Structure 1
Amino acid sequence: MLKLRGKTLEIKFEECVTCNKEKFYRLAYTYVKNSHDAMDILQESILKGYSNLSKVKDIRALDKWMSRIIVNTALDFLRKSSKETVIDKESIIVDKVATTADENLSYAIDALDPGLKTIIILKYFHGYTINEVADILEISVSTVKNRMHKALSLLRVDIKEV
């Protein structure tokens, strides 16, 4: 067990996962659009995070570190899975409730390159600042800004076409 000022790192990790479980689930679900796959990604990410606790550099950024693991695990899952999309009952219900504009935006975001999609999801759906997105993705702030500008430009073009 790794000691950290009276509390073990494992306990801090458990607290982080417990406090952010809904946010982490939504992050995984944003990529796969399937509740079962999102849960699998989340479980695999928690296991990866726990087994790599010794690599944590900043305990205060444990939630960002876990978000990074979830994003990478989701992207790996998407690369490994076939191009065929499986839709569960929850997705069908959500699609029926969504407006046409919401559907168009969702499809436009899904069509983005994974690197651009990740930045949009972290910034606009999960509320991270540009600096936090840069930390999570381990890229420079200027790269985040450039990619965000490119993604927003592509989204504007896609939405105007519809």
Structure 2
Amino acid sequence: MTKNEKFKLVEQFIVDNREAHYRLAYSYVRNKENALDIVQDAIVKALHSVDRLDEPAYMKTWFYRIVVNTAIDFIRKHQRVTVMDDVILDSFLPQLEDDITDIDLQNAIDQLPPKYKSLIILRFFEDLKIDEIAEVTGDNVNTVKTRLYAALKKLRIEIGEEFR
């Protein structure tokens, strides 16, 4: 496959899955503008490194890895709490009963170290399989399983037994 064919394939993949990419970035920074910046940076990185994509079948995990790494780099670079603009807006809207539980869960996930947070997001919010997560993170399957177990244990401790 030529570089131009790979480029077009990646471009189409990005367009077709833009909502998922935004959702993944947003889950890290909880801010619309920052999430859009992360996705934009990830797209630029992907298009510049399209020749490193050896197997188009792994495009999803390849691009997710780029988005995750870009989000983690963004967080490290800014090292500050990001204002959650959507939360302010939501405070003026009628609340659902589950909102408190969701907020507690989201706060607990936000407190996890990046390596655990990534696993929770990829597994439960992006619905990736363990082997796909291993591909995205560059770890072996057993490491992913162990870290996922540890992350879930930390979440249970943080928000209590009702998490089960």
Alignment TM-score > 0.5, same fold = yes
1:91 aligns with 2:90: no
Contact 2:116 2:147 in 1 (8 A): yes
Contact 1:24 1:70 in 2 (8 A): yes
Contact 2:133 2:144 in 1 (8 A): yes
What secondary structure does 1:8 align onto?
Answer: helix
1:3 aligns with 2:20: no
Give 1:64 shift: 1.1
Give 1:93 shift: 2.8
Contact 2:31 2:82 in 1 (8 A): no
Query: Tell me, which stretches of 5 or more residues in structure 2 are unaligned?
Result: none
Structure 1 vs Structure 2 CA RMSD: 1.8
TM-score normalised to structure 1 length: 0.91
Q: When the two structures are aligned, how many residues end up with a matched partner?
A: 158
- C-alpha distance in 2 between matches for 1:119 and 1:58: 23
Cα displacement string for residues 126-148 of structure 1 (whole angstroms, at most 9, x for unaligned residues): 00000000011111000000000
Give 1:161 shift: 7.8
Residue 61 of structure 1 aligns to which amino acid in structure 2?
Y
Give 1:99 shift: 1.1
Contact 2:61 2:136 in 1 (8 A): yes
- C-alpha distance in 2 between matches for 1:124 and 1:84: 23
Contact 2:109 2:155 in 1 (8 A): yes
The correspondence of residues 7-156 of structure 1 with structure 2, limited to 5 A, is 8-88=5-85, 90-94=86-90, 97=95, 99-156=99-156
Change (3 A) 1:133 1:94: farther
Contact 1:134 1:141 in 2 (8 A): yes
- C-alpha distance in 1 between matches for 2:123 and 2:161: 24
- C-alpha distance in 2 between matches for 1:132 and 1:54: 21
Query: Tell me, which stretches of 5 or more residues in structure 1 are unaligned?
Result: none
